[in-house]
Structure formats: structure tokens, C-alpha cells
Structure 1
Amino acid sequence: PALSRPAVGIDLGTTKSCVGLFRDGRVEILSNRQGLRSTPSCVAFTESGRLLGEEAKSQAALNSPNTVFGAKRLLGRVSGAAAAPQDPHRWPFLVLQAEGDARVQVSYKGAEKSFFPEEIVAMILGHLKEVAEEHLGQAVTHAVVTVPAHFNDSQRQATRDAGVIAGINVLRILNETTAAALAYSLHHPDNGERNVLIFDMGGGALSASVFSIDKGVVEVKATAGDSHLGGDDFDNCLVSFLMEEFLKKHRENISHDGRAVWRLRTACEAAKRALSSCQKATVSVDCLYRGIDLQADITRAQFEHLCAKLFQRVLRPVERVLRDAKLSQSQIDDVVVVGASTRMPRIRELLQDFFGGRPLNQCLNADEAVASGAAVQAAILLEDRSDVARNLLALDVASVSLGVEASTGKMHGLVKRNAAIPTVATRTFTTLHDHQPDLLIRTYEGERSIAKENHLLGRFLLKGFSPAPRGMSLLEVTFYIDADGILSVFALDKIMGSANPVIVDARKGRLSKEQILRLAEEHEKYRAEDRAQKWKLATKNYLQSCAFSVKRTSEDILNYFTLQAKKKMVEKCQQAFSWL
């Protein structure tokens, strides 16, 4: 049956994404056109148009400079911090720095074009939206979108902007571990109060969160993570090793050949997956470079040795989150693993050893748990009448401390990391000069005592208050962090009160409303072009099918036609084939 306001849960992953729908008291993971329940977070640009998901990934080896993946790692990052230092060198597409922002440059329809990361992510979200619409047979405009628990304000705002560009009303930006905890609560409704650690490791990031779960109330105690530790990094490690081996053996450097690197990456990813269940895997690529084949056997022990530095980082967020939650390993009742990368045996061994050999809880589908929890949250926010949705509640926390720069240059704290959200902090500011016309407040995220050593969240310029001698203006500034973990700032002139509203000019280094509106219009234009291209292809296939059918029919009933009629039918078929 049609839903009055269908809302989906979207697990927006670095390498793969998934979409779920909650209805009739249960979660359904929706399959894409290829019948798969997860979709590559991949966009390709060609001479004729865009390709998304599986179609984009399948042609990547032949079109690597114009196939964009891992765009989630670029979200909300300003110039100089667009990604980890090694990322741009590993990507076959070009990442530019323009006006303080990272942009992806590709060749699209014969012309060079640059895209904001938000645009690329919007294309992925739009594709998942279409998957849901095809399944439901009606428009889908509401969604809960998940992000890593340690995403900062800029990254969360960029994710929300991407949703707006894609034509989605983002009901909530939900932490991936919180979504997994909701899915866990769905499977364990009556277990009493429990301390649960959710360990989520996907393709691009690692998140760990501790929850107190009691009678459907999911309360986050602490959260931590590593934004550049995921399955992709293990793939990169294996790719680098085999490229070096190829160079030593054949004196050929393939790093500048995008097609060869992509084919090697695909083979390495397959080998990594195989090593999760086997002790040995073979990386085999025919004619990798200049007619030279690559074939190498990799054992699990060898793989773990190559990636030793990455494995050493796995437990750091776990140690930190337990320290922040003020809990010991023995006080954790359940350790739940989600995310495809947790299938690596070494990851599970490290976690089990850390928790004293205790078995890990693998009750959740590693690939679908986050999308399931997001779908449940969407149902809760839309006030679904089912008992399941009504009996669940998620209480989240701020992933990073928030503060302002004091006149001494130190960080003056406003909201501490792991404080419950939504939350409000109010401070009173004054001017340093006589008749000062405005006041600039710099807001930072981070844990360092010196403000400039933290991440600059934004500059808030207060204007319109009453000019007065130094120290006489009193401005009450309210910092509000909403349930999405996104900051808003409001100000009031305490001398004049509401009679003199203070204008807050927020400069957070993100897309302006005008830019978002323009990009949303462009997104719709791209979608219209895609529909036209699909219609053209479908019509062409139909004509080809008709021509073959007529040709086959004319051969089967040849004796029933006159010579002239047979000749005319054959000519028409040949004309169709020639045109095609």
C-alpha cells in the first residue's frame, strides 16, 4: 500500500551505500536495478551522460579519470585539508583546490567540468532516492541520512546540503553507530539495561560508540573514531605493495596508468575479501601493463604484516571511547560489530583479545545494520504508529568539543565532547573599542587549549547593535547545537533588548543558500538528461528488437510472401540495422 509520507533510511557509505524502509513493523532493505541490496558510491561522467552505482563502477577501468569514488572523504573539508595526504595521489580523478574548497574535475560531454563534493554525494543520494521510488511506486522526499559518529559540524552540514541538492528533506543526520544501536534494540527489545559497544568499520572510516540501552531508550555515552581508516586503506596498502613488486620485477611503473591501477585495485579488493575466509588468495590481472601479466599469491599472514600499521590503529578509538565513558572492558555487556571491514579476521581477533576473549556479537547484518537503524529513525520522526517505532528513542551526543577564541588566543569551551544533544550554551560578549560597529566571534572544534590549534568551525560577525563606549555593549550570544550536531548562532543586545535585533552573519566556509539552489537546479537538469538518455536507449533497443523479430518472422514464413514483399521486408530490416 502507498504510504502517506514515505521516509527512507540511507546509509551513505564511502564505498557502498544502502537504503532501507520501515513499514508494517519491520525494516525492508531495498534492492537496486541490478537486484543488489547495496550500491557502489560511485559516479561516472561520459560523452553521453552520467552513470551511477553499479553502472559507474563496471566501466571504471576504461574511464578511470572520470569515475569518482570516495567523495564522502572530501565532504566539509576546506583547502589544505581536503583529504588525507595520500588520498589525492591514489585517486585517478583530479581534485582541485578552488576558492578554499576542494572540487573534483572531470571530462563531461566533451568539456572539462568541476563539481563540489556535495554535488557528487547528491548524485549518489539522488540515485538511492530513485531506487526507493521505483520500489514504492511513488515519490520519496524524506530521509534520514547517516554519517560517521566523529563527523564534525562542517561535514554534517555538507551532508545535509547534499540532501537538499538531491531534492531530499533530510529529517535527521544520524550517527552510523547510533543507527546500528537502534537496529540492535530492534533485535533485543527486552534485555534490560545494558552497556553496548558498537564497532563500525566500513570502506572509509572507523567509528566506536558506547551506549546504555534500556527498554528501547538508546543513550550514547561516548563516541570516537578515525576518519581515514577503512577497507579502502587496506586495499591501498596491498595495491602499493604489488605496484612496487611489479616495478622491481619488470622495471615498469604503472602508477601513472589509471586503467592499470583500477584493475589492480579491483583484484586487490577481491583478494582481501577472499582472505577473510581463506588462508591464501591470488591476485591475477591479465595484460596489466604493456602486455605484462601480474600474478601474485598473498597469504593472510603476509597481508596482516603489510597492513600492520593500519591494524595498530584499530583499537585506539575503542580505548578512547571507553575512557570517555568511564567504563572498563568488563563493564561492557555486548560488543557488536558492523561494517563490511569487520569481516577481516585480524580485526575480530584484536577486538576479542581486547575484551578478554569474549565472543563478539554478530547478530546484525554487517552491510545493512546502519540502513536498518536509519529506517527505524525515519519512522520514529514521522511518528509511525507501530509499537516498534513508538517504543524506541535515540539520545545522541556531540562528537567534538566546541569553543570560541578568547582575547588571549585560548579556547574558551562552550560544549564538551560527548555532551548530550540538542544543547544550548549562552555567553555574554562585549566590545574592546569605543563605538565598535561589529563584533567577530571565531568558533572552533577540537580538544586543544590553544584555539588556532583546533579546527575553525566558522566566523560569526555580529552587526546592528547599539554603538557604545568600550565594554558597555553587552551581547548575549546563544550557541545551539541541534539533534543533527550542527551549530546555529543567535544574538541579543542586552542593553536594547528585542527592540534592536542583532544580525548574525555566519561564515562557516560552506555553500551559500544561493549556491545550493543553483546546484539543486543543475541536479534536476542532470536527472532530466539521464531520463532522456535512458528513453533514447530504450527506444533504440525496442527498434532493434522489432527489426530482429521481423527478420526472423519473414524467414519462418517465407513461402507466404510474394517476392516483392519479402524483398521490401529485408530492405527495411537492413535499413534499421544500418541506422542502429
Structure 2
Amino acid sequence: MDRRGNDAPAIGIDLGTTYSCVAVWKHDHIQIIPNDQGNRTTPSCVAFSDAERLIGDGAKNQVAMNPANTIFDAKRLIGRRFSDSKVQDDIKLWPFRVIQGPADTPKIVVSYKGEEKELSAEEVSSMILGKMKETAEAYLGKVVKDAVITVPAYFNDSQRQATKDAGAIAGLNVIRIINEPTAAAIAYGLDNKSDITCKITVLVFDLGGGTFDVSLLTIAKGGTIEVKAVAGDTHLGGEDFDSRMVDHCAWEFKRRWNKDLTGNKRALGRLRCACEKAKRILSCSIQTSIEIDGLHEGIDFSMKFSRAKFEELNMSYFDKCIATVNACLSDAKMKKSCVNEVILVGGSTRIPKVQCMLQECFERKELCKSVNPDEAVAYGAAVMASKLSGNNDKRVRDLILLDVTPLSLGQETKGEKLTVVIPRNTPVPTKKSKEFHTCHDNQSHTTISVYQGERARSKDNHLLGEYTLSGLPPAPKGITKFRNSFEIDNNGILTVTSEILSTRKRKKVTITNENGRLSKEEIERMIEDADKYKQEDQEYMKKAAAANALDDCIYDIKNMIKSMEHGERLKKMKKAVDYTTDWLDHNQAPSLDELQHMKEHLKAVCMPTF
């Protein structure tokens, strides 16, 4: 691998709740990069054991056996507080433990190499991003540094900042954060560029494993993509559909045998895997079976599951999806008849009922399925990464992206009221200002509390951060004035500048949600930890290879012994094999040196017969 990495192209990463995907511009087109298993998407899953750490397919494959130490859904925790009601609801469903960390941050607790470790959602996400980085490096043969990472359009500022931190921990320079449905629109626009002869309006319906977004965009002939409105739910997707199925199966188990399996984490993990598999089958069949041997207390579980039952269990979620589509159109003041294309993105859009309801919503309009729902987001991210890296290909160079902020931004004013400075669906980057005045006589300072959301009362919205503006000239209330300017960059990240009008004194603060966001020191510590994990993983692989080599050596010698005549050499070889086998049985965690030494010793004893 080229360690210089200077000429490595920037990559695009779709960091998904359930699956992630990485792509790159190479040989004049976008290539989706398969992982070491040959799969084009990788489970967003990390597992820990007494021996090793697994990421991706390896982690997902052993989840039923090791549920308490297999982490998934980290995206549902990133940038959120432990006390968030959505986090509390999720904790009841997850087999792994989540505790309250400093400043109300959620911490995931796992057992690794016999020790208890507390991990932040950023750390777990960084491990998945690191896996995608390694996948790209193996494919390109170069060290990758620059990346565009996607997030749900409805992610707030804290969640965007936390995703950027996760990228930094993984050793990536995050050159841009872009919205998932916007990335999918880029993929559609590039693939259909020759067919776009005038400005068209597209609605991207992005229903994934854990998040849901609707974006209304226009795509112009020259390559300008302009987002008109976004709506969504950062806590709605295939995982929720699985949970409804799990709840139903658990209820059925209790009805039949009067036994509650909800306290059995391993049983719930096996049941969830079976339900997810059944859900996928129900997208192409009208009925399937869920069958699990010895699910709970030795009882075998088997039941028929129909597509109709699946739809009945999840209809409230499907209705919510359609209501969100209507809200997005309403925000954009757009009639359904003006939408030229409805683009499906995300694995959950394969559900027939979702497609049927969406088609009915648009008066039987044919849905666009030309983009790959699993890969379109990574594809678009890679196009943007290539553009930002200076690609001169006309298709990329002409791309202009005009996005919007998904939620209103403002500050708390007297009476716990949220005064909006930047309304939702304002095109970004943007800068808007408002003037405020003091509320008390001779006030010398004021606290600026910045919120994001649509509720009238400030406390009902998401607190992004707060700071103190001091040095206000003493005067009767209402006389001293100051101006607050809110500025959002291309990543959707906010900076607030306060200026006292009479003195021109200014205070500029990048809102980083200091109470919940990782400090620079914590990020640096996690980067060191990430390197340590990587080294440990490499050491483990070396030990595993050495152990396998010793096993192979024993096996080869045993085969030779079978064909040998009796004699002193045969006795000596049998003794050496028995000794080595016994040593392995009594040394569960031998070092690499010990394994290599035992192999060399065995070969030395038996060498004349090789």
C-alpha cells in the first residue's frame, strides 16, 4: 500500500443505521467498493469478545451467540442525550447495556478481553467508518484520508457534529457532511443527466434501517440540484418494523406457553434475527414461517407470519411516512402533480405496502426504481467527494448543490420563548441576524441559549449550546441592544456571533453542544484507542494465523505417522505431537512467540521425516 496517500482519491461513505456503504470515483465513473467478504454493503455492527473485536459481517454473524457485547444501532445514539425519550425506549429493546455518562451522554458498556469498557456512540461509529476506510484502502492500494460522509437530512446540529467527530476518530478528514436524500438525488441526476432536458422536480423517499427522510428537490439540465424542503424522522425505519414483529412473536409465545421470554437477551436476539429475515421474505412472498429451536427454556417456537399481519402491525408507521411526504410538499408549497419523479432510497422501500401507499399518494404515479436503494447514497457522496477534490470531469465539475437546513434555529428569549433566527428549509450556506435588547435595568451580561426545533417553548426544542455575552453597558432595560448572527456552513454546522451595538464588542462561538459533545482531548484519546484496537486486531490475526499454522503442522505429522513403520523415530514423533497437543489444550491464550516456538520445535523433532 502506498503509505504516502497524497494522491488517494476522496471517498464517499454512507454511514447507515443497519448497513454502511463506501464508493469512489475511479476510471471515469463511480465504483461501489466491496468489502473483504465480497459484499457491497457492510453491517453497521461491532462485536467484542474475550479474544477479539469484530466489525461488519463477522460481528453480525455472531450476534445471536454474543448479544450483550454486539453493538448495532449506534446511529440512533449519536448526538443524543441519555435522557432523550427515544434513547430510553431503545434501551429497553437492545441486548447491550447503555448507561448515563458525563453531561447526560449515553455510554455503551461491553466486556472486551475480560475488562468492562464504556464506549461512546462516536467511538462505535468511528469503528464502522474505519472499516469502510480500510475497505477503500484495500481496493485502491493507497492510504485514504479525505471523505464525504452522509447523514439523514433531519439530523440536528449535534448529530452532525458527532458524526464529524466519529470521522476524525477513524482518521478521516471529513471534507463535507451531506444529506442522504440529497446524495441519492446526485446519483439519480448523474445517471440520468442525458435525459434531463429541463428543470425537473423530484421527491426522494428515503426509508432505511433506522431513519426516514423526505426531500423535495429540483434538478436542472446543467447539474444544479436545489433542495426545496425536507421532512423526516431520525427514529423511524426497518428496525422499528422488526421490533413490532418481535413484540408480536413474544406475545404469541407467552399466549401459548405462559412464559415470558422478554428477559432472555439471547432469545430476543435470535428472535430479532429471525424476524428480520422473515420481513425480507415478506417483500416477495405473501407468507413465511418463523422457526427457532429451543428459543426459551428449551421450547421450540414456530409460527406462520403473513404479509397482511406484518402490514397490520406496522400500519401506524406507514401512515406516518405518508403524512411526512404531505408535510414536505406543504412546506415547499408544491402540488403533487408538479413532482416529476418519486425516487425510492433505503432498503425498507422494498416493502410492497410502502410502495403501494406512496403510489396512491401520488395518484398511481409510477415510482422511480432506477437507482439502487442500498447504494445510491454512497454513490452520490462519492460524486461530491470527487468534485471537492477537483475532478475536472464535466459531469462532476458542473454539479452545484444547494441544500437547506432541516430545522429552525433560534434562541431563548423572555418567557422561555423560542425566537427563530433561521427558519427551517432555508437554503444553506446562510447567515441571518436579529437584534435583541436587555430585559433588566443595568444588565451587564446575558446568556445566549441556542435551540433547534419547531416548538414555541424553547425547552421543548433541542438545546445546541449556550454561552455568556458580558460587557453590556449599564442602562435601563431595553436600551442596550445587541445583534446575534446565525451562520450555517456547507456541512449544516452553526456558528453564532453576538455584537453589542453601542461598543461593537463581538463574541463568536461555533455551537458545538459542549455539554454533550466530545472535547478535543477526548477525540485525541479515542484516536489513540482506535489505533490501539487496530494494533490489537492485527496482533490477534497474527496469533490466529500462527495457531492455524501449528494446527496444520500437527495434522500433517499425524498423517505421516499413519504411514510409518514402528521404531524410535515414530515414538519420538508421537511424543512430540502429544506434548504439543496437550500444551495447546492447557494454554488457552498463548503468545505469538510461544506458538511460533512450538511449531519450530515440532518441526525440528520431526524434520528428518519431511
1:86 matched to 2:93? The reply is no
Match of 2:267 among 260, 269, 273: 260
Match of 1:7 in 2: 10
1:95 matched to 2:101? The reply is no
The 10-residue stretch of structure 1 (147-156 or 402-411) with the greater mean CA deviation from structure 2:
402-411
Match of 1:330 among 337, 347, 367: 337
Match of 1:19 among 18, 22, 26: 22
1:210 matched to 2:216? The reply is yes
User: Structure 1's 453 and 243: CA in aligned 2 closer, same or farther, altered over 3 A?
Assistant: same
Match of 1:308 in 2: 315
1:538 CA displacement: 1.6
Distance 1:430 1:6 in 2: 50
Structure 2 counterpart of 1:124, one-letter code: I
The 10-residue stretch of structure 1 (329-338 or 421-430) with the greater mean CA deviation from structure 2:
421-430
The 10-residue stretch of structure 1 (226-235 or 425-434) with the greater mean CA deviation from structure 2:
425-434
Match of 1:529 among 536, 543, 547: 536
Distance 1:507 1:214 in 2: 35
Match of 2:228 among 221, 224, 245: 221
1:578 matched to 2:585? The reply is no
Runs of at least 5 residues in structure 1 that lack an aligned partner in the other structure = none
Over the aligned positions, Cα root-mean-square deviation in angstroms equals: 2.2
1:441 matched to 2:442? The reply is no
Distance 1:504 1:178 in 2: 28
Distance 1:168 1:126 in 2: 8
Match of 2:606 in 1: none
Q: Is the 8 A contact 1:82 1:102 kept in 2?
A: no
Match of 2:591 in 1: none
Q: Is the 8 A contact 2:8 2:142 kept in 1?
A: no
1:244 matched to 2:251? The reply is yes
1:53 CA displacement: 1.0
1:114 matched to 2:121? The reply is no
Match of 1:44 among 35, 41, 47: 47
Match of 2:305 in 1: 298
Runs of at least 5 residues in structure 2 that lack an aligned partner in the other structure = 585-610
Q: Is the 8 A contact 1:56 1:67 kept in 2?
A: yes
Q: Is the 8 A contact 1:461 1:506 kept in 2?
A: no
* Alignment deviations for residues 502-559 of structure 1 (CA, whole Å, 9 cap, x no partner): 4649562322222222222222222221111111112222222233334435656x47
Structure 1 counterpart of 2:298, one-letter code: G
Match of 2:282 in 1: 275
User: Structure 1's 118 and 479: CA in aligned 2 closer, same or farther, altered over 3 A?
Assistant: same
SS of the residue corresponding to residue 37 of structure 2 reads: coil
Match of 2:79 in 1: 76
Q: Is the 8 A contact 1:24 1:386 kept in 2?
A: no
SS of the residue corresponding to residue 377 of structure 2 reads: helix
What is the TM-score normalised by the length of structure 1? 0.94
Distance 1:503 1:171 in 2: 23
Structure 2 counterpart of 1:137, one-letter code: G
Structure 2 counterpart of 1:377, one-letter code: M
Q: Is the 8 A contact 1:145 1:173 kept in 2?
A: yes
Structure 2 counterpart of 1:176, one-letter code: E
Distance 2:49 2:445 in 1: 49
1:260 CA displacement: 0.6
User: Structure 1's 504 and 396: CA in aligned 2 closer, same or farther, altered over 3 A?
Assistant: closer
The 10-residue stretch of structure 1 (95-104 or 294-303) with the greater mean CA deviation from structure 2:
95-104
What is the TM-score normalised by the length of structure 2? 0.89
1:172 matched to 2:179? The reply is no
1:143 CA displacement: 1.0
1:245 CA displacement: 0.5
Structure 1 counterpart of 2:417, one-letter code: K
Q: Is the 8 A contact 1:84 1:228 kept in 2?
A: no
Distance 2:314 2:360 in 1: 18
SS of the residue corresponding to residue 90 of structure 1 reads: coil
* Alignment deviations for residues 281-328 of structure 1 (CA, whole Å, 9 cap, x no partner): 000101111221111111111211122222221201110111111111
Distance 2:329 2:406 in 1: 14
Match of 1:541 in 2: 548
User: Structure 1's 72 and 310: CA in aligned 2 closer, same or farther, altered over 3 A?
Assistant: same
Q: Is the 8 A contact 1:61 1:258 kept in 2?
A: no
Q: Is the 8 A contact 1:201 1:342 kept in 2?
A: yes
1:258 CA displacement: 0.8
Structure 1 counterpart of 2:69, one-letter code: N
Distance 1:149 1:76 in 2: 14
Structure 2 counterpart of 1:188, one-letter code: N
Q: Is the 8 A contact 1:199 1:336 kept in 2?
A: yes
1:481 matched to 2:484? The reply is no
Q: Is the 8 A contact 2:408 2:420 kept in 1?
A: yes
Match of 1:148 in 2: 152
SS of the residue corresponding to residue 61 of structure 1 reads: coil
* Alignment deviations for residues 70-121 of structure 1 (CA, whole Å, 9 cap, x no partner): 1111111123216355311111111212331111122222222221111111
Distance 2:571 2:479 in 1: 98
Distance 1:502 1:490 in 2: 6
Q: Is the 8 A contact 2:494 2:511 kept in 1?
A: no
Distance 1:283 1:388 in 2: 48
Distance 1:377 1:505 in 2: 25
1:377 matched to 2:384? The reply is yes
User: Structure 1's 507 and 225: CA in aligned 2 closer, same or farther, altered over 3 A?
Assistant: closer
* Alignment deviations for residues 375-406 of structure 1 (CA, whole Å, 9 cap, x no partner): 11111111112222112222110010111112
Q: Is the 8 A contact 1:25 1:388 kept in 2?
A: no
Structure 2 counterpart of 1:91, one-letter code: W
Structure 1 counterpart of 2:364, one-letter code: G
User: Structure 1's 505 and 390: CA in aligned 2 closer, same or farther, altered over 3 A?
Assistant: closer
Distance 2:448 2:336 in 1: 41
Match of 1:199 among 205, 228, 253: 205
1:457 CA displacement: 1.8
Distance 1:280 1:573 in 2: 55
The 10-residue stretch of structure 1 (175-184 or 525-534) with the greater mean CA deviation from structure 2:
525-534
User: Structure 1's 434 and 309: CA in aligned 2 closer, same or farther, altered over 3 A?
Assistant: closer
Q: Is the 8 A contact 2:432 2:485 kept in 1?
A: yes
Distance 1:96 1:84 in 2: 11
* Alignment deviations for residues 432-490 of structure 1 (CA, whole Å, 9 cap, x no partner): 55665543111111122332232222112234x47544566554433211111111123
Counting only pairs closer than 5 Å after superposition, residues 307-456 of structure 1 correspond to structure 2 as 307-432=314-439, 436-456=443-463
Q: Is the 8 A contact 1:460 1:507 kept in 2?
A: no
1:35 CA displacement: 1.3
Distance 2:334 2:55 in 1: 44
User: Structure 1's 239 and 5: CA in aligned 2 closer, same or farther, altered over 3 A?
Assistant: same
Distance 1:319 1:259 in 2: 41
Match of 2:137 in 1: 133
Distance 1:302 1:79 in 2: 34
Distance 2:170 2:438 in 1: 42
